[in-house]
Amino acid sequence: LGGRISHAIQQMTNATVIDEKVLNDCLNEITRALLSSDVQFQLVRDMQKNIKAIVNLDELAAGHNKRRIIQQAIFNELCKMLDPGKPSFTPKKGKPSIVMFVGLQGSGKTTTCTKYAHYHQKKGWKPALVCSDTFRAGAFDQLKQNATKARIPFYGSYTESDPVKIAVEGVETFKKEYCDLIIVDTSGRHKQEAALFEEMRQVSEATNPDLVIFVMDGSMGQAAFDQAQAFKLSVPVGAVIITKMDGHAKGGGALSAVAATKSPVIFMGTGEHMDEFEVFDVKPFVSRLLGMGDWTGLMDKLQDAVPEDQQTDLVEKFMGGNFTLRTMYELYQSILNMGPLSQVFSMMPGYREQMIPKGQEKESQAKIKRCMTIMDSMTNQELDSTNPKLMNESRILRIARGSGRQVKEVMEMMEEYKKLAKNMKSVIPNKGNKNLLSQNM
């Protein structure tokens, strides 16, 4: 889904004139992508209608603004699709709440239960875990191991086969112990699917949870809507957690899950480790879905990866919006040393494919070194220039001679630079306004 949407937008941003046809093409492509990802037809149609209503081409001024506005309209609509209109039930510290986790086997329920408990424990809650998965051998051991590691009390049985009985006993036990967040992990598979949903219904009825969380694998594609809906029909799902967002998945299924359950996504899992768990934030998620790079994440990453005294420098470089040859030089240097810049840049869409194509790591490195030799023969003016016309024939000849490379190679490098600079412009907000993306888009 994400790939197709970003492709559609890419096509649009590459077109020099944005007219009705370009807009329609773009909307059609996005529509197809969303539909093929099982997002509710009604929702897709609404999005298309809304965008057409917002983007009145005749009333828009220059082409640049049109692009911006179309992009923004699509962005806003996708954000809306992730907002069911009402927040989920939020447990209150000190007041006992029961939270039941449901989802298919392998979606990440047991892992996510522990993450959810650990997250709240760090904030001063008293969570507890109940294992009512009696179907899968080893389910209780897994939960026990996770819980022990996180020092969270747990309840389960090796011998009892009735999930309802265990769930009820566990909940009662921890209520008596004044736990304020009692988390019930459930089974995800059954001999027959109908039996799974019946079991979920029974556990839910017997424990009367304050919140039922549907856990979904972020790479779940077309089946997302039906799967989410099936759970919603059996139990009162009130929130969604998307897991495995550290992989390749862009999480397009989240749109379907929200549509099917009419519940918001509240967290996402970003790794197997207990701390790899984040509060779900719609805007960066949609940025990522659209291939615009996770701007918020990028800034966080920058803070983590770069020594404090270098941060302002780097931020300046990005925010200034001027991707000069010197910036490229520093980027290359950083890539060769695996320095902080390379970590930061690796979060940008298109970066990897363009700089270091898969299977060509060696050649790419050699090329980068060659380019740096060429840039070593440039003047400061040339390195810092933002004027693309500065590099005339005589300068290119001089640089080629000075670096001992061919004119063709210098020109190739300049092409590379232009591509990269353009790519950078599409990701980095202009003119020193680092909040542009998060505020306006």
Is 342 a binding residue for Mg ion by CB under 5 A? The answer is no
Query: Cβ 137 to ligand GDP, closest distance in Å?
Result: 12
**Residues in region 285-324 near Mg ion by CB under 5 A:** none
Three-state DSSP at 267 gives strand
**Core vs surface per residue 394-407: b (16+ CB within 10 A) or e:** eebeebbeebebee
Which CB, 108 or 340, lies closer to ligand GDP? 108
Which CB, 97 or 110, lies closer to Mg ion? 110
Which CB, 82 or 102, lies closer to Mg ion? 102
Sorted by sequence, the CB contacts under 8 Å of residue 325 that are 6+ apart come out as 375, 378, 382, 383, 384, 385, 417
Which CB, 285 or 329, lies closer to ligand GDP? 285
Among 37, 40, 76, 111, binds ligand GDP (CB under 6 A): 111
* Beta bridge mates, 102: 214
Among 162, 169, 172, 246, binds ligand GDP (CB under 6 A): 246
114 binds, among Mg ion, ligand GDP, none (CB under 5 to 8 A by kind): none
Query: Which residue, among 79, 76, 98, 77, has the nearest Cα to 89 in the 3D structure?
Result: 98
The window from 5-13, 108-116, 158-166, 389-397 that contacts ligand GDP (CB under 6 A) reads: 108-116
Which CB, 197 or 396, lies closer to Mg ion? 197
Which CB, 27 or 242, lies closer to ligand GDP? 242
How many amino acids of this chain bind ligand GDP (CB under 6 A)?
A: 17
Rounded to an integer, what distance in angstroms lies between the CA atom of residue 235 and that of residue 201? 6
**Residues in region 384-403 near Mg ion by CB under 5 A:** none
Is 110 a binding residue for Mg ion by CB under 5 A? The answer is yes
Is 105 a binding residue for ligand GDP by CB under 6 A? The answer is yes
The sign of the torsion formed by the CA atoms of 381, 382, 387, 392 equals positive
Rounded to an integer, what distance in angstroms lies between the CA atom of residue 410 and that of residue 413? 5
**100 phi/psi in degrees, rounded to 5:** -105, 135
Rounded to an integer, what distance in angstroms lies between the CA atom of residue 310 and that of residue 295? 19
Among 66, 109, 288, 405, binds ligand GDP (CB under 6 A): 109
Is 107 a binding residue for ligand GDP by CB under 6 A? The answer is yes
Three-state DSSP at 303 gives helix
The window from 78-86, 102-110, 227-235, 348-356 that contacts ligand GDP (CB under 6 A) reads: 102-110
Task: Give the residue at shortest CB distance from Mg ion.
Answer: 110
Tokens found for residue 96: 């006992």
Rounded to an integer, what distance in angstroms lies between the CA atom of residue 135 and that of residue 237? 22
> Taking the mean position of all CA atoms in its chain, how far away is CA 38?
19
Among 156, 188, 284, 340, binds ligand GDP (CB under 6 A): 188
Query: Which residue, among 440, 112, 103, has the nearest Cα to 273 in the 3D structure?
Result: 112
Write the DSSP string, 143-200: HHHHHHHHT--EE--SS---HHHHHHHHHHHHHHTT-SEEEEE-----SSHHHHHHHH
Task: Give the residue at shortest CB distance from ligand GDP.
Answer: 269
Residues that bind ligand GDP (CB under 6 A): 103, 105-111, 188, 243-244, 246-247, 269-272
Which stretches of the chain bind Mg ion, using CB under 5 A? 109-110
